[in-house]
Structure 1
Amino acid sequence: MSILGDYRVIELADERGQLAGSVLASLGAEVITVEPPGGSHSRTLGPFAGDVVSPDTSLWHWSYNRGKKSVVLDLDVGADRDELLRLTDGADIVIDAFGPEVLQAMGLGYEVMSERNPALIHVSISAFGDDGPKAFWEASDLTIMASGGQMSLAGDLDRAPLRIPLPQAYMHASSEAVGAALIALYERQHNSGLGQHINLSAQASTLQASQTNMVAGAINAPPAIRSAGGVTISDIYVQLMWPCADGHISLTVLFGPALGPFTRNLMEWVFEEGFCDEATRDKDWLNYAELIFSGQEPVSEYDRVKRVIGEFCATKTKAELFEEAFVRRLLIAPVTTAEDVLNNPHLTERGVWEDIEI
C-alpha cells in the first residue's frame, strides 16, 4: 500500500513547482496538474526526444510529470475557474507556484478554497515568499541562487561567482514544499482536522540548502570564501574536491570533535598504504584547526598533508575510495558522471529507472 494512496493533490505549477507534485505522486498520491490551453511552459524546455521540438517531446516535462493526471483549464474563463474550485473541493493539497496574489486576483486564493474545503492544505511557492518587500520582484534561477547565498561559494575567487548550471532554486523550494505538506497532513490528521496555508520562499530554501556560512556565524567561526574545488577560511585553502585515478571525489578533510575522527580514519588508511609516516598519521586531528590558526602548526605543513592525501587519492578509483569509505567511516562521495549514475548498481537494484513512452 502506498503512503499517500488516499490523498489527492491539485498542482498549479510549471517548472517552478512540478517537482513537488512529482514526489507526492511517487508516494502514491493522485496528482492532477492543471495546464493552460497550449500546455504548461515546462513543455517548451529541452532536451527533446529525438531532437524534435514539440510540446509532446520535452524530456524535462515528462521527467517531472510522469505519474500525474493532466487537465486543461483556462483560468481567464469563469467556467474553468469554477471547475478548478470543484477540483480543490475534493483535494487534500494544492501546490501553487503561480506567484504572490495571482490566484487571489482570480478569486481563487487560499481564503476562497479553504472556506469551501476547510481541510485543504495550500502550499505556495514563489521566489521571495508571498509577502515582504521583494514579494513581487521578477526573479530567475540566477538571481535566486545569488540572493540565497549559494553563488558566494561557487567558482574562483578572482572571477565572477557561478551558479549550478542546471536550475536548482525551485527544486530546493519544491522539495521543501513536499516536506511542509506532509507535516501539515500529519497535523491535520492528529490535531486540528484543518488545513493551512504554507508560504515558501525559494530564496530561503536555497539559503537553508547551503548552510556553510550560516553555521559559521552561529558558532563564531570565520566565513568561508569561494575557491574552486574548496573554500578559503582565514586565508587557508580547504580542499574539498580531489582528483583520483578515474575522475574526482568529494572528500572532507576537516577537524574538530565532529569531523576530526573522520580525518583520523583517513590518515590511518593513508599510512597503511605507505603515503605518510607515523608522525603525520598521529597528528591531533581533533584540534588541528586551532593549531593552524594559532600558528603552532605552520600552514606549509598543512599544505604538505594535502599533497600527501592527493598523492594517495591519485592511486585509487572513485569506486575503490567510495566502497572503502563505508568500511573505514570516511566522508567520501564520488563526483559521478551521467553514465556513472545510469550504471549505478544500487539505483538499478532499487528500480529507480523507468522506461516511459512519449
Structure 2
Amino acid sequence: MEKAALKGITILEIGDQLTQFSGKLLADMGAQVIKVEPREGAPSRNIAPFYKDIPDKNGSLYFWNYNTSKKSITLDINTKEGHEKFRYLLDETDVILEGNKPGQMKEWGLGYDNLKKDFPKLVYCSVSPFGQDGPWSQYQSSDIAQLALGGIMAVTGYDDVPDAPPIAPTGGQSYHLVGYFAAMGIVSALLYRDFKDQGQYIDISVHDCVTVSTEMSLPYWIYQKEHVIRQTGRHALPSRSVRWNLKCKDGKYILILNTYLDVKRWKNLVSWLSSHQMEEDLGDERYANDKFRAERMEHVTDVLECFCIQFESEYIYHTAQSIGLPWAPIRAPEDMIHDKHLNEDRNVFASVYHPEVNESFNYPGAPYKFHETPWNIRKRPPLLGEHNDEVLHSLHMKL
C-alpha cells in the first residue's frame, strides 16, 4: 500500500503562477491535487521554453516543472453551470487553493464566506500579491516587482562596480517563497481540522512572504537603525567585508568565507597553506589573534587569492571542508546536475516518464526526505483537461 503524508486529501487548485508550486509540493506529498483550468488552459502552459521548441499547451517545460503529480480538468468557472459543477466537486474536497484576483471568487459565489456554512471542514487558502483587502489588494504585481518591494533587490548588487544599482536575483524567488508558506499553512490548517473538526480561511500575501524572508536588512534596521551595504557575492552588512569569491585554476570561483575563522580553523588553514609553501607571513603567531587578523584581512585575502589560483576548485573545496572550513565552489547548473553527492547520495533529481513522447526527463526532486511517508513524483504533469472524464464521472457528471 502506498504510504504518503497527504494520502486521502483532495485539493482543488484554481490558480496559476501564485499557486502552482504549493500545489506541486502537496501533490508530490500524496494529496490528490486537481488543477481546475479554463478551457484554453492555465496561462503558464504558454510559457517557453517548449519541448523540442514547438509551442504546445502540453509541452511547456515551465508548466511541467511546477505541476507534477496533479490532475487537470477544464471548467468554465465564471458561468452559472461552472459554479454548480464546482460546488459538486466540493463534496469530496478538503482544500481549495486559489490564486485569483482578490474578490473574484466571492463574485462567483465561491468565496469562503459563501461556502463555509455548507462545508464547515473546508480549508480555503487564497494566495494574492498583496492580500485580500486593503488599499493594495488590487495592485498589479510580478515576481520581480515583489523582489523589489520586499527588500531582496535592495540588498543584492555589487560594491566593486562604481555607482552600481541594485540588481535582481534569479527569477521565481517570490513565487517559491509563497509556495512554501502556502503549503505549510495548508498542512497546519489540516492538522488543526484533525483536532477541532473545523476548517478555516488562510490569506497569504506574496509581499508578506518576501518581506519576512529578507535577510539582514530588516533586523539591522529594527534593532540598530543601520542600513546594510550591498556587497559583491557576499552578505549585505552595515560594514564592509573583504572579498569572499576567489578565482581558481579551472576558472571557477570558490566562496572562502574568510571572516568565519576561529583559532582552530585559522591554524588548520595556515598548516594547509604551509604544506604548499604558500603561507607567506601568515605563519606569524600574531595572526591567530582575531583583532590582529581582522585588521589585516585584506592582506590575508590577497595570500588566499594567490593560493586559490594555483589549484582546481574541487580540490580546494574538499580539502577546505576536511579541515573544518565552510568553503564552497560557486556552481553552474551543469555542475549540480552532474554532482555525485546530489545524484547518488541524496537522490535529489527524479526521473519522470512522459508516455506521450516515450521519454523520461530529470526533474528537481524532494526538498525534504520523509522516512515513513516517502515523497514521490507519482506522475508527469497533466495534459490539459486530461482528467475530465475521471474526475467528473466520479460525480456522475459530464462536461
TM range (shorter): 0.7 to 0.9
CA RMSD of aligned residues (A): 2.5
CA deviation after TM superposition for structure 1 residue 125, in Å: 1.3
CA deviation after TM superposition for structure 1 residue 182, in Å: 1.5
- Per mean C-alpha deviation after superposition, the further-off stretch among 339-348 and 244-253 is 244-253
Cα deviation code 1:294-324 (max 9, x no counterpart)? xxx64xx221122233334434544334434
Closer/same/farther in 2, CA of residues 199 and 277 from structure 1, 3 Å limit: same
CA deviation after TM superposition for structure 1 residue 280, in Å: 6.1
In structure 1, the gaps of 5 or more residues are none
Provide the residue aligned with 2:165 in structure 1: 160
Q: Return the alpha-carbon distance in structure 2 between the equivalents of residues 323 and 33 of structure 1.
A: 44
Closer/same/farther in 2, CA of residues 86 and 311 from structure 1, 3 Å limit: farther
Provide the residue aligned with 1:282 in structure 2: 288
Provide the residue aligned with 1:45 in structure 2: 47
Match of 1:248 among 246, 253, 257: 253
Q: Return the alpha-carbon distance in structure 2 between the equivalents of residues 113 and 318 of structure 1.
A: 58
Provide the residue aligned with 2:268 in structure 1: 268
Task: Give me the TM-score of the superposition, normalised by structure 1.
Answer: 0.86
* Bigger Rg over Cα: 2
Q: Return the alpha-carbon distance in structure 2 between the equivalents of residues 208 and 314 of structure 1.
A: 39
Provide the residue aligned with 1:215 in structure 2: 219
Cα deviation code 1:42-65 (max 9, x no counterpart)? 101111110111111100001111
Match of 2:327 among 314, 322, 332: 332
Cα deviation code 1:315-350 (max 9, x no counterpart)? 454433443465444333432212112112233232
Letter in structure 2 aligned against 1:163: A
1:354 lines up with 2:351 in the alignment: yes
Match of 1:31 among 14, 33, 44: 33
CA deviation after TM superposition for structure 1 residue 31, in Å: 0.8
Match of 1:306 among 298, 301, 306: 301
Q: Return the alpha-carbon distance in structure 2 between the equivalents of residues 241 and 210 of structure 1.
A: 22
Structure number with the higher helix fraction is: 1
Q: Return the alpha-carbon distance in structure 1 between the equivalents of residues 22 and 319 of structure 2.
A: 35
Q: Return the alpha-carbon distance in structure 2 between the equivalents of residues 56 and 237 of structure 1.
A: 48
CA deviation after TM superposition for structure 1 residue 41, in Å: 0.5
Provide the residue aligned with 2:101 in structure 1: 99
Closer/same/farther in 2, CA of residues 138 and 326 from structure 1, 3 Å limit: same
Closer/same/farther in 2, CA of residues 310 and 207 from structure 1, 3 Å limit: farther
Match of 1:125 among 97, 115, 127: 127
CA deviation after TM superposition for structure 1 residue 232, in Å: 5.9
Q: Return the alpha-carbon distance in structure 1 between the equivalents of residues 213 and 244 of structure 2.
A: 17
1:144 lines up with 2:146 in the alignment: yes
Match of 1:341 among 322, 329, 336: 336
Partner-residue secondary structure (3-state), 1:353: strand
Match of 2:180 among 175, 180, 192: 175
Partner-residue secondary structure (3-state), 1:67: coil
Cα deviation code 1:223-253 (max 9, x no counterpart)? 3211322356455244344433442244434
Q: Return the alpha-carbon distance in structure 1 between the equivalents of residues 236 and 178 of structure 2.
A: 28
Provide the residue aligned with 1:17 in structure 2: 19
Closer/same/farther in 2, CA of residues 63 and 233 from structure 1, 3 Å limit: closer
Match of 1:205 among 203, 206, 209: 209
Q: Return the alpha-carbon distance in structure 2 between the equivalents of residues 240 and 351 of structure 1.
A: 28
Q: Return the alpha-carbon distance in structure 2 between the equivalents of residues 316 and 118 of structure 1.
A: 64
Aligned residues: 341
CA deviation after TM superposition for structure 1 residue 151, in Å: 0.3
Q: Return the alpha-carbon distance in structure 2 between the equivalents of residues 224 and 240 of structure 1.
A: 17
Cα deviation code 1:173-218 (max 9, x no counterpart)? 11111111122222222x3221211111111212233221123235
Cα deviation code 1:102-128 (max 9, x no counterpart)? 111111111223222222212211111
In structure 2, the gaps of 5 or more residues are 357-399
